[in-house]
Amino acid sequence: MTSQTDGTFDRTPLIAGNWKMNMDHVQGIALLQKLAWTLDDAKHDYARAEVAVFPPFTDLRSVQTLVDGDDLRVVYGAQDLSDQDSGAYTGDISGQFLAKLGCTYVLVGHSERRTIHGETDALCNAKIAAAHRHGLVPVLCVGEGLEVRQAGEHVAHTLEQLRGSIAGLDAQRVAELVVAYEPVWAIGTGEVAGPEDAQEMAAAIRAELASLYDDGTAAKTRVLYGGSVKSSNVGQILQGKDVDGALVGGASLDAEEFASIARFEQHLVTD
């Protein structure tokens, strides 16, 4: 759902919490339980906004047990996966293991993977293929750094990352793909790209997909915005008609705040 100014959506919004390297499995379970209770108390309608968390790998088995045991509606995914399926890849995690742990989604190419670990578009492309081999839906992260933004090349840069990462994907895969636009300069800094910036890039991503595939395919792909999203700004950000949700870092570590973001409809400013 695209959020639109009348509060209706074409695509089901996705509110995703990336815990990054925070929360051991004991802390993670407490956070998820509190999140689920808070959403239950608010009678959250998951058909109107899907809620997902991305805990560290070491939390996933506990998350699976809690979600299955308590029949939670929150879905979950991993923060990364290997482009390989098995073998001598010390420290890497196969998509096969993630599927076995009940993951729905997997992040691919988060800016922290790209900058700290030097991940390239070609590697992201291989990771997306690995996710698909194991029935996981990739959440492909793209976005520019400050210098690129200041040079006014943010759209070209981000679309190049997009094209490189999805090369060879068929239309059905693109339709189910989630793309998260995260300008690096807005991550963890308190700097938020304006709602117009988020909409500008989401529309550019959708137009690029429409040129590579067709309008019907591009109309299905969900495009999220990430970077210092909070309950106080989510309403404005999701106002953009091509913005279909948020990828939230720091604010997803507080159950009440993240639940409030997931219930973004109460923050929408409708015409």
Element (H, E) at 223: strand 222-226
Of 182, 208, 257, 265, catalytic: 182
7, 135, 188, 216: which one binds ligand 13P (CB under 6 A): 188
Alpha-carbon distance 190 to 256, whole Å?
A: 19
* Binding segment (CB under 6 A) for ligand 13P, from list 26-34, 86-94, 226-234, 263-271: 226-234
249, 262, 265, 267: which one binds ligand 13P (CB under 6 A): 249
What is the DSSP secondary-structure string of 126-157?
HHHHHHHHTTPEEEEEE---HHHHHTT-HHHH
For position 182 contacting ligand 13P by CB under 6 A, the verdict is yes
Nearer to ligand 13P, 109 or 240 (CB): 109
Residue 16 CB, shortest distance to ligand 13P, in Å, is 8
Q: Is 226 helix (H, G, I), strand (E, B) or coil?
A: strand
Annotation-wise, does 241 bind a ligand?
no
The dihedral through the CA atoms of 165, 248, 111, 24 has a sign that is: negative
Residue 80 CB, shortest distance to ligand 13P, in Å, is 12
Q: Which residues contact 57 (CB under 8 A, 6 or more apart)?
A: 78, 79, 93
Catalytic site includes residue 132:
no
Q: Any idea which residues carry the catalytic annotation? A: 110, 182
Binding interface with ligand 13P (CB under 6 A): 18, 110, 182, 187-188, 226-229, 247-251
